[in-house]
Chains A and B, each alone.
Chain A
Amino acid sequence: MTAVRAVRAASRTGRTLLALWLVLPLVPLLLWAFADRWTFPAVLPQEWGTRGAEEALAAGAGGAFLTSTLLGAVVALLATPLGAMAGRALASRQVPAGTAVLAVLLSPLALPPFAVALGLDVLLLRLGVPAVGGVVVLLVVAALPYTTLTMRAAYAAHDRGFEDEARVLGATRWQTVRSVQLPLVAPALAGAAFLAFLVGWSDYIVTVLVGGGRLTTLPLLVASAASATGSDAQVAILSLTSILPPVALLLVVGSLGRRRR
């Protein structure tokens, strides 16, 4: 009996520690975000307020939020259909040298993003490609492994019989894609788009190296505030602003996937 109780107590302690491990780093973010004054050694802020938010807005958080959203959306809009088409082709096992093609499509996962950005930066400058275009192309390539893998898995589990039936019943190729195929893989498409959005939303190094100061995204503001001293409240509010939209999207995508199943 005591052994069972000891195991149960150990398991409860273990779970508490695991939850603490996941949550603890976010606690100071939440507290600092609304702290006007929080001097050492106080465990909680002495004065609550919106100083951090005001500083963040003054530093250009509004524009950066829009830029980051737009960058994430453009990357998702380009990488999702490309990944879906590649995933469909690879799942059909009709691509010559399919394994090699998949390896090439996944290669951006293995290559350090700074190395690719650094190598391409010189070339883009010589070719006269606009900085923003360079950032988008690099991030789309970085997002393609995620969208391709997600959609390849979705199409591998997808039953093509429905499409054949639609074709037999007289639907055109495009009608079949639009009204049969896409609705069936919609949850996977949402998941792939979410991952591609994250690549654009979270990027720092590609925007810095290739963007050449043209793009001021939220990560750039977080980095510049975090490397300065005495702006902890601003760091915290900028960080929270960077966390909330993707977390909200994750909840939406998650509930979408559940409802479809």
Chain B
Amino acid sequence: MTSTRRRPGPRGRAVLLVLPALVPVVAVVGAALTSAALLSLGLAPLVGEPRLSLDAYRDAAGDLGTGIGLSLGIAAAATFVATVVGLCLALAATAAVRRSRLLGALAALTIPIPHLVGAAAMGLLLADAGFLARLLGVDPSSWPPLVGGPLWAAVVAEYAWKESAFVALVVAGVLSSRAASYGETAALLGAGRWARLRHVTLPLAAPALGGAAAVSFVYTLGSYEVAALLGRAHPEPLPVLAYRLFTSIDLAARPQAAAVALTTAGLALVVVLLSLRALRRLAAER
């Protein structure tokens, strides 16, 4: 009886504090993944008897294959551009001489813009009668198909644009707190501009840069609306494919949609684990 009246100790209190957040996350993520797995394996059909089968995966295999390649390609291209531009932004925003407050502020203001709005803006900018074509004076007939074209240029551009601001903010946060003193020491010891960049600034920025790149990659991989708005009807990246299958009037397509969703989730998980390993190795090299 006394044990129920006693106040919980520090460990007990910590557990009580963490549970209100932990329970909904475990419930939602666990239930969503389980439900998708059962649906994709034929164990929770909307009509008919439950029967374990890999039919959904087999039926979706062709689209799934092209979707995986396309999604990985878009995410890789966008992350590459975002990382390079984001690093340049961070360097300019934290430079010891002629620091650009403007670039830091512009990057910060880009963060809260919803990706969907970014997609709408890229459409108005890059379409064949868009703002850029007008600025450059190019006729719509000779303008490259950036929106809805075979290279997914507008989709990649939108993700690269938004994520470059994210990368810039993360890297600038690390550099502003640590780079100045190291850079000054290196300069006093006679290191030139490039030597400081290569041997001081870049190694300091590398873990944050790698982490931000991994977050951007995983986000782009699982994001639906930009590719849906600025992409083409065929072939489809994984989120667009899953959405089409899920909202199809053909109920038999639902298990295939779940199969695509689980494949995307698995792919994202593999990327996260690989980047965690790479980041740990980077930290161990010091």
Contacts and interface: CB of A to CB of B under 8 A. Distances in A.
Contacts of A246: 112-113
B225 A28 contact: no
A23 to B, nearest CB: 7
B246 to A, nearest CB: 5
B29 A116 contact: yes
B42 interface: no
Contacts, number: 253
A250 B222 contact: no
B114 A201 contact: yes
B14 interface: yes
A148 B21 contact: yes
Nearest to A219: B116
A112 B223 contact: yes
A202 B140 CA distance: 32
B11 A204 contact: no
Contacts of A209: 243, 246
A189 B46 CA distance: 44
B123 to A, nearest CB: 6
Interface string A7-36: 100010011001101111111110110000
B78 interface: no
Contact of A118 (B36, B88, B113): B36
Interface in A112-155: 112-123, 137-138, 140-141, 144, 148
Contact of A14 (B18, B88, B246): B88
Contacts of A96: 11, 15
Contact of B18 (A27, A95, A227): A95
Given A86-B21, A101-B18, A115-B222, A25 B118 contact: yes
A53 interface: no
Interface in B127-143: 129-135, 137, 139-140
Interface string A88-119: 11101011100001001101111111111111
Given A85-B18, A112-B265, A243 B32 contact: no
Given A101-B22, A113-B222, A222 B112 contact: no
B111 interface: yes
A124 B151 CA distance: 38
Contact of B36 (A25, A119, A204, A219): A119
A43 B117 contact: no
B13 interface: yes
Contacts of A219: 114, 116-117, 225
B115 A86 contact: no
B197 interface: no
Interface string B97-125: 01010110011111111111111111111
Interface stretch (A58-66, A164-172, A179-187, A231-239): A231-239
A223 interface: yes
Contact of A115 (B32, B89, B108): B32
A179 B25 CA distance: 30
Given A21-B85, A122-B39, A115 B29 contact: no
* A108, A112, A225: residue with the most chain B Cβ atoms closer than 10 Å: A112
A22 B121 contact: no
A235 B120 contact: yes
A47 to B, nearest CB: 16
B100 A242 contact: no
B14 A94 contact: yes
B158 to A, nearest CB: 8
B261 interface: yes
A15 B14 contact: no
A144 B132 CA distance: 39
A205 interface: yes
Contacts of B107: 22
Contacts of A157: none
Contact of B29 (A22, A118, A141, A227): A141
Given A85-B17, A108-B29, A219-B116, 12 more contacts: A7-B193, A19-B103, A22-B110, A27-B125, A28-B121, A32-B124, A104-B22, A111-B29, A118-B32, A118-B258, A122-B254, A219-B117
6 nearest A-B pairs in the assembled complex, by CB-CB distance: A112-B222, A119-B36, A119-B32, A202-B114, A246-B112, A94-B14
